[in-house]
Amino acid sequence: MDAEAEQLLRDRLTAAGAYGGGKGAGYRGARGGALGARFAARLLPIRTHEETAELEQDPGEAAEVLSDVIEHYGRVVSGEIVPGGRRATLRGLIGSGGLNMNPAVVDVELERRAGGGSLATVRTAAKEGLIRQHSASKAARQVLESYGVATRAPAES
């Protein structure tokens, strides 16, 4: 992953450390928790995952839905839809892993398919320690499955 993804993960882990430290020992604990988490985040390896999926919607429409999905689980960091809706890219930071508490960076690239619709490539990255939570792979599945739920036609009565 790139330097921005590394920084996003490190900042989110630092914020979590500050929150936990603050809950346990007040202001000084928050500073200590943030410092410890920032140090630990530098040592943790980044795990990555990639999945592709064929989507029914064109890239512009799919990017709108995927932006909503990412916002539901975290926040969109950046996004771009090429004029005409032929291509789109998104970057977000979401919670994944156990209880969705481990941050994961999600990069989505959407390309128009020849027969209509789009091809989505979802690349994810997360920092993990000795106990693997498979946060990167869970984040990719989480985004793609939620996209499917969001675009599923309602059942007829």
pLDDT at 15 over 90: no
Q: Are residues 35 and 50 in the same domain?
A: no
- Residues 13, 63, single domain; the answer is no
Residues 128 and 104 in one domain: yes
Q: Output the pLDDT for position 78.
A: 96
DSSP string, 9-23: HHHHHHHHHHHHHHH
Backbone angle region of 55, left / alpha / beta, with phi > 0 → left and psi within -120 to 50 → alpha: beta
Cα angle 91, 96, 102; round to 5: 100
DSSP one-letter string for 140-156: HHHHHHHHHHHHPPPPP
Contact 34, 112 (CB under 8 A): no
Query: Are 55 and 126 in the same domain?
Result: yes
20 with 94, same domain?
no
104 and 155 in one domain?
yes
What range does the domain containing 11 cover?
Answer: 1-43
Q: pLDDT at residue 157 above 70? A: no
């990412």: which residue's tokens? 70
- Asked whether 33 and 17 are in contact (CB, 8 A), the reply is yes
The token pair at 128 is 């993990």
Q: Are residues 79 and 141 in the same domain?
A: yes
**Paired tokens of 100:** 């969705």
Q: What is the pLDDT of residue 14?
A: 79
Confirm if 53 and 144 have CB atoms less than 8 A apart.
yes
Q: Are residues 39 and 92 in the same domain?
A: no
The predicted-structure confidence for 49-94, as pLDDT tens digits, reads as follows 999 999 999 999 999 999 999 999 999 999 998 887 789 999 999 9
Looking at the structure, tell me whether residues 39 and 2 fall in a common domain.
Answer: yes
